[in-house]
Amino acid sequence: MSRKFRTADYEQTLNLQITLGDALPPDHLARFLVDTGAQLDLSAIYKKYSDQGAPPYAPEVLLVLLFYGYATGVFSSRKIERATYEVIPFRFIAGNMHPDHDTIDHFRRQNLGELQELFVQILLLAQAMGVLQLGNISLDGSKIHADASKSKAVSYKRLVAVEAYLQQQVAQLLALAEMADQTVLPEKMAIDDEIKWRQQRLERLAEAKKVLEERAQARYEAEKAEYEAQLRQREAKAARKGQKPRGRKPKPPRSGPRDKDQYNFTDPDSAIMKNPNNKGFDQHYNVQVAVDQTSLLIVAAGLSNCPTDRQQALPTVDAIPAVLGTPPAAALDAGYWSEANVNGLQARGVDPYIATGREPHNQSWQAYFAQQGDPPVADAPALEKMAYRLRTDIGRAIYRLRKCTVEPVIGIIKEVLGFRQFSLRGQTTAAGEWLLVCMAFNLKRLHTLQVGL
């Protein structure tokens, strides 16, 4: 061939000497995180270290390694350790040191409780930079896969059946033990070991049964409150119109566990939830975020094992740091609708704009520019009042921003950062890891905003 190509001289390349300063531009995210980590008050973490033993890695080094890892989609402590050898930004953050994965994972687990204070400090830095002035917020939730296998779960119906079966087997083995001197036992059979193994399983099943019963009671109380609110709304509407209520009467909730209630032995705190990706069911946690509509920074985060969002609105708003102030208004989708949420947000000084139903797609211009109509009467149901509020100009303006604020944030966390499964088990530790994810997102967002200043 007459065509000439540029070829690589790998022997010469291996001897090439470059500096990290040449490889990392001045506005690189790794440099920004190192500078930000130096401004954080880590005294609460430093207090956990004793004066004995070999010098440990400085907390700011390990913390910024985690920040950069979660901000770039590297969540495994083993992958972070390997990256300190192979990836230039990680090597820069680690100061050419190489903390092993056990050290990184131990640091992450031991300092989850301190993340809330660090989350507030980062938001205060955003205020000092002039990019955050708390205004209207948007709330939304999403399902994140728990570190648990669906095959390690048991339904309440199956649990009761297995419990009865094991109890029957234990009774048979105890009877066989009493007749051991008179009966020839199978070869290599140790009755005590067989009984002990089944009793241990019964103890685990009893623990699972107790958890499912407690969850069922909490669900019943929440459903009962909602049922009573629906009855009051129905009766008030009938009294206002002076006629019998129309439509089907709400069904009262049923107490006690249901046959399909699930308990997972790998991560008991996680719950079976509908998977939004394949319409199936899997072990998940329900995560929540409140996003400032102007800066797109996450100002509050939450996590629960409740599949629905309705009970998470008020706790998420309460998680907004008091030093940031109170948001004037909040936009929420129909999954959060309840009269209790409306009253609760108003009591906190937040104007709620909660969808009362699913919005139709591809509305005609006639529907979009339709007149908002007369305001409802003072004693109108909360649903009717909220529907009117959403038809006002200010209601449309605030609620319209929900889709282009909080939904993109969750989309970036799942698609760009790639966070779709927790690495830690248990509701408390998973909540800490979710806060770490939100901090990493905020830092990446701050870096973008700073570059644009």
- pLDDT value at residue 181: 65
Task: Output the pLDDT for position 363.
Answer: 65
Any idea what the CATH number is for the domain that residue 367 is in?
A: 3.30.420.10
User: What are φ and ψ of residue 263, in 5° steps?
Assistant: -130, 130
Q: Is 445 found in the same domain as 336?
A: yes
Per-residue pLDDT averaged across 235-252, rounded? 78
Q: Do both 398 and 362 map to the same domain?
A: yes
Residues 204 and 293 in one domain: no
Q: Indicate whether 301 belongs to any domain.
A: yes
Q: Are 313 and 402 members of one domain?
A: yes
User: How many structural domains is the chain composed of?
Assistant: 3
pLDDT at 391: 86
Q: 210: which 2 tokens?
A: 């107790």
The pLDDT tens digits of the residues spanning 40-70 come to 999 999 999 888 888 999 999 999 999 999 9
* Across 300-311, average pLDDT: 91
281 with 411, same domain: the answer is yes
- Residue 182 domain-assigned? yes
Instruction: Give the pLDDT of residue 62.
Output: 96
Q: In sequence order, what are the residues at sequence separation of 6 or more whose Cβ sits closer than 8 angstroms to the Cβ of residue 191?
A: 173, 176, 177, 180, 185
The pLDDT of residue 247 is 76
What single letter denotes the amino acid at residue 338? Answer: S
Domain identity same for 434 and 305 = yes
Same domain, 137 and 155: no
Nearest to 30 by CA among 102, 86, 87: 87
Residues across the chain: 453
d(CA 286, CA 271): 9
Q: What is the pLDDT of residue 370?
A: 62
Which pLDDT does position 366 carry in this prediction? 60
Evaluate whether 83 touches 90 at the Cβ level (below 8 Å): yes
Residue 376 has pLDDT above 80, yes or no: no
Q: Are residues 385 and 424 in the same domain?
A: yes
Residue-wise pLDDT for 224-242, tens only, equals 888 888 888 787 777 777 7
Same-domain check for residues 97 and 246: no
Please tell me the predicted confidence (pLDDT) of residue 225. Answer: 84
Q: For residue range 123-172, what is the model confidence (pLDDT) as tens digits? A: 999 999 999 999 999 999 999 999 988 888 888 889 889 889 988 888 88
If asked whether residues 206 and 100 sit together in one domain, one would say: no
Task: Tell whether the model's pLDDT for residue 73 goes beyond 80.
Answer: yes
Domain match, 259 and 357 both = no
How many alpha carbons fall within 13 Å on the CB side of residue 366?
A: 0
pLDDT at 360 over 90: no
Between residues 78 and 254, the one the model is more confident about: 78
- The answer to whether residue 124 sits within a structural domain is no
When the pLDDT of each residue in the chain is averaged and rounded to a whole number, the result is 88
In a domain, 410, yes or no: yes
Residue 453: its pLDDT value, please?
Answer: 56
179 confidence band (pLDDT: 50, 70, 90): confident
The whole-number pLDDT of residue 246 equals 75
197 falls within a domain: yes
Range 293-310 average pLDDT = 93
320 and 171, same structural domain? no
Tell me the C-alpha distance between 409 and 297, whole Å.
Answer: 8
pTM of the model: 0.87
Q: What is the domain extent for residue 98?
A: 17-110
Assess whether pLDDT exceeds 70 at residue 369. Answer: no
Treating both helix axes as pointing N-terminal to C-terminal, what angle do 382-391 and 393-400 enclose, rounded to 10 degrees? Answer: 80
Segment 83-88 mean pLDDT = 95
Query: What whole-number distance in Å separates Cα of residue 277 and Cα of residue 28?
Result: 34
Position 10 in a domain: no
User: Is 7 inside any structural domain?
Assistant: no
Question: Using an 8 Å Cβ cutoff, are 156 and 258 in contact?
Answer: yes
What is the predicted pLDDT for the residue at 180?
Answer: 66
